[in-house]
């Protein structure tokens, strides 16, 4: 996970940057804290800025009163924490940096190559009107990230700034990027059920829906409404592992590990396939035995009639 803290000369500019992203459907309202309104996102952006302006007007001597933080989790970070964990840890981060009692807004972005979050607040204390101390912010942030990695057993297996999971109404290379996402999730051993897999897809605004005898992959907005034409799951080379038949999993393993010991790589799959084959053979032999037994009894009856 990468966390960057910016000192904004204008809190209004930082806030309206995120608001423009929301207006263009490249970002979504994600979370708010410490405002008088139950849901300040129901109002307009000027009302939201007014919350910070009222505080900052008490101390106009501070040259950089705005607080702008970007939180960039990796794919595995997002899946391990989930939406509830992300919200909790953003609150913990603000407390850790000394802004826990400040009003702040969180925006979820999907306009670049990754899902990430922006936090907007003010460095002017809402109670005292004094500037909140910002000494050693980088060191505090690195300590927070280290503790976060230990708490959730996060790994540094991918770089959030290089991954391309851009699932918006205008993103390019949709099919290719979806396959990359499936590949990432397929390798996460802690995802042990179809339900967990679906929840992980939801973090990236992706949903698999049943359609006739197959499935379709949709890119959706925060309300679950499709924003792109769906893609047939059969069109993907790499598919979600909980939507694969065992034969398809076995074939996919052959492609991935052409020179390896497939029994070692896919022992569970092979055992299942062998078991199915044994059951088929037993069933076949039982049917053949019954058929031949009927023929034998019929022949005996025929011979008995002759004598």
Which of the given ranges, 10-14, 70-74, 220-224, has the highest pLDDT on average?
A: 10-14
Q: Model-level pTM?
A: 0.67
The candidate with the shortest Cα–Cα distance to 21, out of 161, 115, 121, 159, is 115
User: Rg of the chain over CA atoms, in angstroms?
Assistant: 29
Instruction: Give kind and range of the element (H or E) at residue 118.
Output: strand 116-122
Q: What is the pLDDT of residue 246?
A: 47
* Dist CA 165 CA 168 (whole Å): 9
**What does pLDDT average to over the chain?**
82
DSSP one-letter code for 121: E
Distances (CA, A) of 220 to 65, 200, 207, 225: 36, 14, 7, 5
Q: Which two tokens stand for residue 292?
A: 């031949």
Write down the pLDDT at residue 232. 92
Structural fold of domain 2-152: BirA Bifunctional Protein; domain 2 (3.30.930)
Nearest residue to 163 (alpha-carbon basis) of 74, 46, 93? 74
Instruction: Write down how long the chain is.
Output: 307
**Residue range 287-293: mean pLDDT, rounded:** 62
In sequence order, the 6+-apart residues with CB closer than 8 A to the CB of 62 are 56, 123, 124, 131
The pair of three-digit structure tokens given for residue 249, joined into one six-digit string = 């999993």
Degrees, nearest 5: CA angle 106-108-114 = 140
CB atoms within 10 A of CB 74: 23
DSSP string for residues in 135-188: TTHHHHHHHHHHHHHHHHT----S-TTT-----STT-SSHHHHHHHHHHHHHT-
C-alpha distance across the termini of the chain, in Å: 91
According to the model, what pLDDT value does residue 204 have? 84
DSSP state at residue 43: S
More confident residue, 284 or 176: 176
Question: 122 with 102: CB under 8 angstroms?
Answer: yes
Q: What is the pLDDT of residues 17-27, one digit of tens each?
A: 999 999 988 88
What pLDDT, on a 0 to 100 scale, did the predictor assign at position 266? 46
């Amino acid at each position: 996970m990468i966390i960057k803290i910016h000192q904004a000369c204008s809190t209004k500019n930082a806030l309206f940057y995120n608001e423009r992203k929301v207006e263009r459907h490249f970002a979504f309202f994600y979370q708010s804290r410490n405002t008088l309104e139950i849901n300040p996102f129901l109002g307009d952006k000027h009302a939201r800025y007014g919350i910070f302006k009222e505080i900052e007007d008490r101390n106009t001597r501070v040259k950089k009163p705005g607080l702008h933080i970007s939180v960039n989790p990796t794919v595995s970070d997002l899946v391990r924490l989930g939406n509830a964990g992300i919200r909790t840890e953003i609150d913990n981060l603000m407390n850790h940096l000394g802004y826990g009692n400040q009003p702040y807004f969180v925006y979820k972005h999907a306009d670049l190559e990754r899902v990430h979050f922006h936090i907007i607040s003010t460095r002017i204390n809402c109670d005292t009107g004094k500037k909140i101390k910002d000494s050693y912010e980088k060191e505090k942030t690195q300590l927070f990230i280290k503790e976060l990695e230990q708490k959730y057993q996060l790994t540094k297996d991918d770089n959030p700034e290089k991954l391309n999971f851009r699932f918006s109404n205008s993103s390019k290379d949709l099919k290719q990027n979806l396959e990359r996402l499936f590949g990432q999730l397929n390798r996460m051993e802690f995802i042990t059920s179809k339900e967990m897999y679906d929840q992980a897809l939801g973090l990236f605004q992706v949903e698999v829906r049943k359609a006739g005898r197959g499935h379709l992959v949709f890119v959706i907005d925060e309300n679950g409404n499709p924003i792109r034409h769906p893609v047939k799951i059969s069109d993907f080379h790499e598919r979600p592992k909980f939507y694969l038949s065992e034969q398809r999993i076995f074939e996919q393993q052959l492609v991935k590990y052409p020179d390896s010991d497939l029994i070692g790589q896919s022992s569970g799959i092979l055992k299942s396939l062998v078991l199915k084959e044994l059951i088929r053979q037993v069933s076949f032999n039982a049917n053949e035995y019954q058929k031949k037994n009927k023929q034998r009894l019929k022949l005996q009856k025929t011979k008995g009639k002759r004598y």
